[in-house]
């Protein structure tokens, strides 16, 4: 398949489709055939789509009843053509879509990423007021304000693992990946109660940084974490491992 076009744009795809389904005007067909004669890669692409059309048409024919009353034969023939044409459109459209979608680490990260929902907010403890004040901002998706509040706590008190974790995921939610790594990496490497979650978000951070091998490393440490095995399999497929 390496001799075929790796990607065809929407306009060219529609031209090929119209040519194969004989829905071009005489002038459009003449222009297309002139272009076809001068472009070997287009000829091969057309042949590929023609083969797909033939496959679907054969399958449609094989799926049709083997015998039919004479008075309904014409109706069935017309119906078979329309169903085959619809199947071809769906099949080729799907082929075009997947042909033009290139999987990347960043796309995988976006597919699996959802922000940590945060902790339930309570203001009953005055000693934790600032932390939960920051959590309110976090839940409102004002991550910049949440980080500012939490970092002010960290400068005056010993930073807890919980505080460090939420600063890390807040940075990740703001696409500040290197800052997120600084917060999450020590938690994933240690014995924190946030170890698994930190490893999960760490792997997503590395994917967003286009470093799938490092993402694989951390996913392998959390085999029981929801979605981790699926994401690891997707990365393995992407990298050919």
CA-based R_g, the chain, Å: 28
Summarize pLDDT for 79-132 with one digit per residue, the tens: 454 555 555 555 555 554 444 456 799 999 999 999 999 998 765 555 578 888
Give the pair of three-digit tokens for residue 145. 């304000």
* Domains of the chain from N-terminus onward: 10-99 (no CATH), 108-239 (1.25.40.10)
Cβ atoms of 187 and 165 closer than 8 Å: yes
Q: Is the pLDDT of residue 167 over 50?
A: yes
Q: Is the pLDDT of residue 199 over 90?
A: yes
131 DSSP assignment: H
Packing angle, helices 212-219 and 228-239, rounded to 10: 150
Please tell me the distance from the alpha carbon of residue 99 to that of residue 97, in angstroms, as a whole number.
5
Residue 179: the pLDDT is: 97
Summarize pLDDT for 21-74 with one digit per residue, the tens: 888 898 889 888 888 888 888 888 888 777 766 655 544 444 444 444 444 444
Residue 87: the pLDDT is: 58
Which of 193, 169, 174 shows the shortest CA–CA distance to 184? 169
């Amino acid at each position: 398949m390496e001799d075929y076009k790796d990607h065809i744009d929407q306009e060219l795809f529609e031209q090929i489709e119209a040519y194969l389904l004989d829905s071009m005007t005489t002038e459009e067909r003449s222009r297309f055939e002139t272009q076809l004669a001068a472009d070997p890669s287009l000829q091969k692409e057309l042949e590929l789509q023609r083969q797909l059309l033939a496959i679907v048409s054969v399958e449609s024919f094989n799926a049709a009843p083997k015998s039919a009353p004479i008075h309904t034969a014409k109706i069935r023939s017309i119906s078979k053509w329309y169903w085959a044409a619809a199947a071809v459109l769906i099949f080729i459209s799907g082929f075009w879509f997947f042909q033009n979608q290139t999987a990347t680490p960043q796309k995988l990260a976006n597919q699996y990423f959802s922000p940590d929902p945060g902790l339930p907010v309570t203001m009953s403890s005055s000693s934790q007021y600032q932390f939960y004040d920051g959590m309110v901002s976090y839940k409102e998706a004002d991550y910049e304000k949440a980080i500012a509040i939490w970092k002010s706590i960290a400068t005056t008190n010993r930073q807890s693992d919980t505080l460090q974790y939420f600063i890390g995921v807040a940075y990740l939610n703001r696409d500040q990946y290197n800052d997120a790594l600084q917060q999450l990496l020590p938690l994933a490497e240690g014995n924190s109660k946030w170890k698994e979650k930190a490893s999960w978000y760490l792997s997503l951070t590395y994917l967003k940084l286009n470093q799938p091998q490092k993402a694989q490393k951390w996913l392998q440490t959390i085999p029981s974490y929801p979605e981790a095995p699926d994401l690891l399999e997707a990365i393995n497929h992407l990298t050919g491992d």
